[in-house]
Amino acid sequence: MQIPILLGREIEERDVIGKRNVAVVNEFFVRTYMGGSSPIGRHFKLDEADYEIIGVARTTRLHSLKQDTPSVTYIPLTHSKYVGQITYILRTAGDPLALATNARQTVREADASIPVSEISTQETVINRTISDERTFAILCSCFAGLAVVIACVGLYGMMAYRVARRTNEIGIRMALGAERGRIIWMVIREVFLIAIAGVGIGVPVALAMSQFVRAYLFQMKPNDPLAIGAAAMAMLAAAILAGYWPAWRASRIDPWTALRDE
Q: What's the pLDDT score for residue 260? A: 58
What is the CB-side half-sphere exposure of residue 155 using CA atoms within 13 A?
A: 27
Q: What's the pLDDT score for residue 54? A: 93
Measure the CA–CA gap between 122 and 89, rounded to whole angstroms: 9
Name the amino acid, one letter, at 138.
I
The helix or strand, by DSSP H or E, that contains position 245, with its residue range, turns out to be helix 225-251
Lowest mean pLDDT among 52-61, 108-117, 207-216: 207-216
Phi, psi of 246 (to 5 degrees): -60, -35
Do 134 and 127 form a contact (C-beta atoms < 8 A)? yes
157-194 pLDDT per residue, tens: 887 777 777 777 777 777 777 777 777 788 788 888 88
**For 34-121, where are the alpha helices, taking DSSP H only?**
100-110
Measure the CA–CA gap between 72 and 41, rounded to whole angstroms: 17
Closest CA to 166 of 149, 178, 154: 178
The alpha carbons of the chain give a radius of gyration, in whole angstroms, of: 32
3-45 pLDDT per residue, tens: 899 999 999 988 888 788 899 999 999 988 888 678 999 999 8
Q: What's the pLDDT score for residue 255? A: 64
The whole-angstrom distance between residue 155's C-alpha and the CA centroid of its chain comes to 30
pLDDT mean over 144-169 = 80
198-254 pLDDT per residue, tens: 888 888 887 887 777 776 666 667 777 887 888 888 888 888 877 777 777 777 766
Q: What's the pLDDT score for residue 248? A: 78
Which three-class secondary structure state does DSSP give residue 69? coil
What is the CB-side half-sphere exposure of residue 119 using CA atoms within 13 A?
A: 15
Which three-class secondary structure state does DSSP give residue 8? strand
85-101 pLDDT per residue, tens: 778 888 888 888 888 88
**For 58-130, where are the alpha helices, taking DSSP H only?**
100-110, 122-129
Residues 6+ apart with CB under 8 A from 40: 7, 8, 53, 54, 55, 56
Percent of the chain with pLDDT over 70: 91
Which three-class secondary structure state does DSSP give residue 7? strand
Q: What's the pLDDT score for residue 26? A: 92
How many other CB atoms sit within 10 Å of the CB of residue 187?
24
Q: Please list the residues that pair with 73 across neighbouring strands.
A: 25
